[in-house]
Amino acid sequence: MPKKPADLIIKNASELATPNGGGQKPLVGKQMRALRIITDAALAVKNGKIVGVGKTAPITSAFKAAETIDAKGKTVIPGFVDPHTHLVFAGSREKEFEIRLEGASYMEIHRKGGGILETVRKTRQASEDELIRNCKRTLDIMLEHGTTTVEAKSGYGLTTKDEAKCLHAIQQVNKTHAIEVVPTFLGAHAVPPEYETRPEDYVDLIVEEMIPSISSAKLAEFCDVFCEKGAFNVQQARRILHTGTKHGLKPKLHADELTPLGGAELAAETRAVSAEHLLCASETGLKGMSKRHVIAVLLPVASFTLMAQKYAKARRMIELDVPIALGTDFNPSCWAENQQLVIAMACRQLKLTPAEALTATTLNAAHAVNRAAEIGSLEEGKKADILILDVHNHSFLGYRFGTNLVSKVVKDGKLVLDLE
Ligand SMILES: [Zn+2]
């Protein structure tokens, strides 16, 4: 039989590991660790898509390709999806880090006009070009560490014009960078100083002006709210999410991070795609999320950087069949680009196995950004977003940390990074 033409074959991999099933729903419970594992594996790619996955012998006898990568001794996994980042901002907050080391809490700094509001000042002053350059720098580092799709939230503009500027920067960088960026509108990140004494007026602005204009300019796919004491309460969050939904923006929620406010319950009630952080989420809230398939996006590096020794109850979530995804929470107070670090923290602090953490950073994270039909697992028909890691098997994920395990990155079928 003549061989079928392909553009790229990756062969001889010591292991190929991928979450199983590009099903309709994110993986829960035991499904999260039930990876499909192939030893002496190969994969064929054509027109940016995966056309064959299996053992090396049958794949190389079925396909011939212009380009072949020998992955001997290496592990092939799907590209990481980072489902929670605050990608667009100007400036940095290293001084605040020192103040926090001396004992000041995140919300204390916020109340004194630091934290998010410090970054808001810098971001309002920045030009769109400067923001694009910042995004590009960050995305380059993320790609180097194996991230091929990223969710990016606005939320450091907090005026209609500056929020649009940030989302426009995301749109521009998405056109040129290898990483696909999925935009989220987070105008409800903080109450800006000019609305400090009248926060309801700011919620009106979000609902009446920001959401309609951002939605009609097609600048975002999701609408998110920082539902927290000192930020936005449950009633305000509900109103913002409902308005977003009416305008075609799917709901996401920063929920129950620092205080138990009922964010997980609200996420279930509004059928949010995901609820994020969840350190203080209630049992009732988690059960509601499980029933409605709301994805828990957990951010262990954010917990680490808060230094409060409190982490989300990931094992309980798995028992309750709450689907888990993992993200970096990249932002100026949690400056971490690397999903491999997130996996290392998730294994140690959330007690996820490397297999569960792999599912949480690939297929379930793809569900959290509404891309699971195209990416997140290595299956025929899906986009060829592929990592080749310089380790023998996927169990090295999390186990070996502090260095970059990525050797090659393939995005949309093209070799976009080669560190060998
Ligand atoms: Zn966040």
- Give the residue-averaged pLDDT of 162-166: 98
Q: What is the mean pLDDT of residues 307-316?
A: 94
Per-residue confidence (pLDDT) for residue 109, from 0 to 100 = 79
Q: Could you tell me the distance, in angstroms and rounded to a whole number, from the CA of residue 76 to the centre of ligand 1? A: 30
329 CA to middle of ligand 1, Å?
5
Distance from the alpha carbon of residue 86 to the mean position of ligand 1, in angstroms:
6
For residue 395, report the distance from its CA to the centre of ligand 1, in Å.
Answer: 28
Contact between 416 and 404 (Cβ < 8 Å): no
- pTM score of the predicted model: 0.97
- CA of 102 relative to ligand 1 center, distance in Å: 23
**Confidence band for 111, pLDDT divided at 50, 70 and 90:** confident
Residue 254 CA, ligand 1 centroid: distance in Å? 7
Rounded to the nearest angstrom, the distance between the alpha carbon of 133 and the centre of ligand 1 is 21
Distance of CA 243 from the midpoint of ligand 1 (Å): 21
pLDDT (tens digit per residue) in 14-30:
999 999 876 789 999 99
The model's confidence at residue 113, banded by pLDDT at 50, 70 and 90, is confident
- Please compute the mean of the pLDDT values over residues 102-126 and round it to a whole number: 86
Q: How far is the CA of 71 from the centre of ligand 1 (A)?
A: 36
Which residue would you say has higher pLDDT here, 379 or 309? Answer: 379
Structure tokens at 122: 């810098």
339: CA distance to ligand 1 center in Å?
A: 15
Residues of the chain above pLDDT 70, percent: 100
Ligand 1 centroid to Cα of residue 177, in Å, is 22
Mean pLDDT of 194-215: 97
Instruction: Give the mean pLDDT of the chain.
Output: 96
Residue 99 binned pLDDT confidence (cut-offs 50, 70, 90): confident
